[in-house]
Amino acid sequence: MLLPLFIMLIILSFLIKTFITCLIDVLVLLWCIKFICRATHSANKWEVVQRTLNGSQFYSYSVCNVGEREQDNWLRTTFIQRRPAASRVFVEIQFIVRDCNSFDGASLTCKETFNLYTSESDADVGTTFRKGQFKKVTTIAPDEITSKNDLRINTETRVVENLSRKGFYLAFQDIGACIAILSVRVYYKTCPATVKSLASFPETVAGGENQALKEVNGVCTDNAISENLPRIYCTVDGEWVVPVGQCQCKPGYEEVEDTCQECQQGFFKAAASGDKCEPCPANTQSLKSGALSCPCMDGFYRAPNDPPNGPCSGLPSAPKDLVATTTQLSAGKLVLSWSPPADTGGRNDITYSVDCQRCESNVCQACGEKIRYEPASTGLTDTKVLVSELDAHLNYTFTVEAHSGVSLLALPRSKPPSTSALTTSLHYTGEYPPKITSMRLVERTPTSLSLSWDVSPRPRALSPPIRYELNYRKKDDNLGMTTYTVLKLEKNLVQVNELNPGTAYLFRVQAFTGDGGAGGSSMEEQFETLPEAVIFGAAVGGAVMLFIVAVVLFLRRRSVNAPSQLTTSYLLFTEQLKPLKTYVDPHTYEDPNVAVLKFATEIHPSHVTKQKVIGAGEFGEVYRGILKAPGRKEVAVAIKTLKPGYTEKQRQDFLSEASIMGQFAHQNIIRLEGVVTKFKHAMIVTEYMENGALDRYLKDHDGEFSSFQLVGMLRGIAAGMKYLSDMSYVHRDLAARNILVNNTLECKVSDFGLSRVLEDDPEGTYTTSGGKIPIRWTAPEAIAYRKFTSASDVWSFGIVMWEVMAFGERPYWDMSNHEVMKAINEAFRLPAPMDCPSAVYQLMLQCWLQDRSKRPRFGDIVSLLDKLLRSPDSLKTIADFDPRVSIRLPSTSGSDGSPFRSVSEWLESIKMSQYSENFTCAGIVTMDQVLQMKNEDIKNIGVRLPGHLKRIAYSILGLKDQTSTLSVFAV
Ligand code: AMP
């Protein structure tokens, strides 16, 4: 496209005086008829001639000295300013040339061409003219020549290249032709401003011969973005070619005729792309235009794993047709079955959970772990479950609830009726008195046998105790008589002593109820003592005896008179029934390497790939990586490494963690995948927990979880701890930093190294009793005299509860360890965190009872948390919260009633320094101004996270309430 810069009629702008020295013969108007100026060596013959062409008058510059030799007539333009980018200009000339043959006798000297010259200059030189400064551009010849009566106008365009100075002159040299210049047009070419691919490109002057294609960068138009700037090329002819790259409308906008327009209401666009806005998916809505996503409509939710822009789903309705099949009632069993809910809420991840209440004399309580479910009580995908170990004479109410991926999201608010469970009451009366169902050998030595057995239905708490009669005899009593020994027992286990080595005995048990009812006897079972040869070994391994028997009364009578006389013995056991699987301290192994091999799977290092360092352990870096064992799927793992230069003792300590972890198998305990011990670089490989340590995770997500979700996390930790305490394992360093969180927010207990409490934990502090102890997490008796028990773990669990409900806040803030111990001894306890449900805080206080025997056990804690989760309404009552003790650090409180000297000091004390600038920018620079702030004002200055908002608002509330003097931590 052509865009003239200067359209110049040189007729008006030529400096006539200088160059046209001959006088204009005003009488001769038509140059083709008469020649007015004749060139000589000393005078320029160009002249201005007025003409009439096609009826209109105009001027031309003419010269016509064809009869004279050596003509050299010059005509020069005025100074033509150049636009800096225009290095190449076009010169279009309209002219007439007279046919030399039309001059009689002048044809020998007559020419039919003229020359175009140019000269560059940085300034207008006025009338000064020096021929030598001009460069010839070209010779111009006409396409058509004009004969006497036939006027022919030529138009020729020439290019002047490589201009670089501020301006230039053009000049025409006549060397003896008869010519008239009618017009001269000087112009350059540009590529016009344009919008392509949602990018705008400015008007660009076309390049010259040394820059045939000019690269031009574009700028995305309003509401369009691009990672790489789009570009395009401008040709010498002023045309855009080869566009590269593309801008795209940003989220919430779509392309409409080269512009980005907001998505209409009811539509959304989540990412920058060339796509159109999409209609909001099912059960979602966008209430204003320009939506990036469509939030769920009330009563509909997206599960964490649902695509963020997919449809939302509702809660499932209640399961239908719950029935119980009681064919196996006599064995204390029944089968519950039901049909799927009529409305699945549009989801296919429906699972069921079964809850049970047992009622006695109108008092109902959760069945808890007293009954057994096959395959499980939660997460059922099938619509039936086998319930067993039901007690006699009790009413049971079973509740089956349908869940889907969105149920957890809905529950914290209020439980809509559609999710409430269908309840069916089943009144089951078990068989009584109970039967012995199985008998097994627990432990044996050459002189003793430890046995236990099960009874069905199981004895219930308030029913009269069941007693047992165990009678046994040697299998091969060949003395012509059979001697029975009868033991009367109160528990369903016994250690029978004073037996003969290597001898088989036959045992039978019968149960009796307290009211004299006799149950059926078991089958006669045979067990054999160990032979003599292993007595020594057994004595050495005495430490592994599982039961300590307190023999209160031993009476033995024997008679040899009758072939079948009865001998009666009475044994009373006071020891409680323990779980059969117990944690084995790897230290009891002489060679710790043997312990590792016993409890952990050896992995070949070539199956482990390290990807990225994710943390620093006591012994070396912790990596995220991949484990690909032969025949197994690839799994993401955490890899703990042992740094080079370790001693053998350090290597053993390092691997001891695997020996301990390898003994555990529980959903809420970090799972050991295996170890690398047979190669130079030892490694411990565990399951990978995407969200890392719980304390950090909660700090990073302050205020983002509901109490229901937090209590769900605590329930997981409590279940893991129950498992550990059932295995008689005392953790000693339970703290949120030692809990790991995966991507489904499941919490798992970790950190089992033997030396961990002593060395690993940065919280560890030396106490007067010698050891290094994480003071603020540890029970007073463990600090005072190293009494570490599951009850001291319960205390630590209470602190973990506090950390979780306070989103990772440091327990006792910046109080010193000494101050903490003093406060605890004076019966002070941490106050309830902000928004903490009252029931949860009450449980914390129970965990912090001074008398450890009064603290709840982990089993009780799991049951209570389960109960709270089953009825989320119970979390709605919030514990009293005093912002001054919960947020403000005791050591920063002043005594003059206005403790904070500046806004920044106050913000620092509540750990909200990151908002200092927001306050300053909003002009809030004095504490008086702070005290005037309303919740809305805090939001308006840019505090968006709900947790932070609350923290600041509560703190202001606390500051206002200066009259109250409560400060439980005034130590
Ligand atoms: P530890 O030596 O067990 O205290 O681990 C040091 C750090 O490594 C922890 O604080 C976590 O951030 C990280 N880490 C350890 N184990 C895992 C795991 N299984 N998954 C993810 N991160 C882990």
Residue 594: give its domain's CATH number.
Answer: 3.30.200.20
Other beta carbons within 10 Å of 930: 21
**pLDDT recorded at residue 698:** 94
Same domain assignment for residues 40 and 91: yes
Residue 743: give its domain's CATH number.
Answer: 1.10.510.10
Atom of ligand 1 nearest to the CA of 686: 19
898 has pLDDT over 70: no
Residue 42: give its domain's CATH number.
Answer: 2.60.120.260
Same domain assignment for residues 144 and 49: yes
Q: Using CA atoms, how far apart are residues 45 and 63, in angstroms rounded to an integer?
A: 6
**pLDDT recorded at residue 85:** 86
Bridge partners for 496 per DSSP: 449
Q: Give a yes or no: residue 543 inside a domain.
A: no
Q: Give a yes or no: residue 273 inside a domain.
A: no
Say if residue 827 carries a ligand binding annotation: no
1 has pLDDT over 50: no
Q: Give a yes or no: residue 458 inside a domain.
A: yes
Q: Measured in angstroms, how far is the CA atom of residue 710 from the centroid of ligand 1?
A: 21
Same domain assignment for residues 902 and 848: no
Say if residue 618 carries a ligand binding annotation: yes
Of 149, 170, 187, the residue that ends a domain is 187
Same domain assignment for residues 174 and 198: no
Its pTM stands at: 0.44
Q: Measured in angstroms, how far is the CA atom of residue 545 from the centroid of ligand 1?
A: 36
Q: Give a yes or no: residue 549 inside a domain.
A: no
Region of 624 (left: φ > 0; alpha: ψ -120 to 50; beta: rest) is beta
Atom of ligand 1 nearest to the CA of 688: 20
Q: Give a yes or no: residue 291 inside a domain.
A: no
Per the CB < 8 A criterion, the answer to whether 685 and 727 are in contact is no
Of 843, 875, 907, the residue that ends a domain is 875
Same domain assignment for residues 721 and 779: yes
Same domain assignment for residues 865 and 724: yes
What is the amino acid identity at position 411?
L
Q: Give a yes or no: residue 481 inside a domain.
A: yes
Most confident of 547-551, 575-579, 862-866: 862-866
- Span of 77-86, 269-278, 654-663, 907-916 with lowest mean pLDDT: 907-916
Mean pLDDT of the region 717-725: 95
Give the closest residue (by CA) to ligand 1 atom 17: 638
Residue 358: give its domain's CATH number.
Answer: 2.60.40.10
902 has pLDDT over 50: yes
Mean pLDDT of the region 542-554: 33
**Tens digit of pLDDT for each residue in 651-677?**
888 899 999 999 998 999 999 999 999
**pLDDT recorded at residue 32:** 26
Q: Give a yes or no: residue 911 inside a domain.
A: yes
Residue entry with tokens 């309404």: 873
Among residues 355, 726, 733, 751, which one is catalytic?
733
What is the amino acid identity at position 517?
G
| Ligand 1 first shell, C-beta below 6 A | 614-615, 617-618, 622, 638, 670, 686-689, 692-693, 740, 750-751
Bridge partners for 249 per DSSP: 224, 273
CA distances from 676 to 3, 599, 622 (A): 77, 13, 14
What is the amino acid identity at position 324?
A
pLDDT-derived band at 970 (thresholds 50, 70, 90) equals very low
560 has pLDDT over 70: no
Q: Give a yes or no: residue 137 inside a domain.
A: yes
Residue 905: give its domain's CATH number.
Answer: 1.10.150.50
The number of distinct structural domains making up the chain is: 7
Higher pLDDT, 67 or 360: 67
**pLDDT recorded at residue 402:** 86
Q: Measured in angstroms, how far is the CA atom of residue 774 from the centroid of ligand 1?
A: 18
Say if residue 640 carries a ligand binding annotation: yes
Average pLDDT for the chain: 79
Same domain assignment for residues 714 and 630: no
Mean pLDDT of the region 514-526: 67
Tokens of 83: 């636009």
Say if residue 674 carries a ligand binding annotation: no
Contact residues for 692 (Cβ-Cβ < 8 A; gap 6+): 614, 615, 740, 741
Same domain assignment for residues 54 and 81: yes
Give the closest residue (by CA) to ligand 1 atom 1: 617
Atom of ligand 1 nearest to the CA of 670: 19
**pLDDT recorded at residue 289:** 93
Residue entry with tokens 């070994």: 537
Higher pLDDT, 967 or 474: 474
Higher pLDDT, 639 or 314: 639
Strand runs labelled E in 629-669: 635-641
Same domain assignment for residues 376 and 234: no
How many helices (H) and strands (E) would you count in the chain? 19, 52
Same domain assignment for residues 660 and 697: no
Q: Using CA atoms, how far apart are residues 797 and 804, in angstroms rounded to an integer?
A: 10
Of 875, 903, 919, the residue that ends a domain is 875
Q: Measured in angstroms, how far is the CA atom of residue 700 from the centroid of ligand 1?
A: 17
Same domain assignment for residues 632 and 716: no
851 is catalytic: no
**Tens digit of pLDDT for each residue in 178-204?**
999 999 999 999 999 999 989 999 999
Same domain assignment for residues 455 and 408: no
| Alpha helices per DSSP H over 286-423 | 407-410
Three-state secondary structure readout of 828-876? CCCCCCCCCEHHHHHHHHHHCCCCHHHCCCHHHHHHHHHHHHHCHHHHC
Per the CB < 8 A criterion, the answer to whether 319 and 352 are in contact is yes
Higher pLDDT, 703 or 154: 154
Q: Residue 243 belongs to what domain range?
A: 190-249
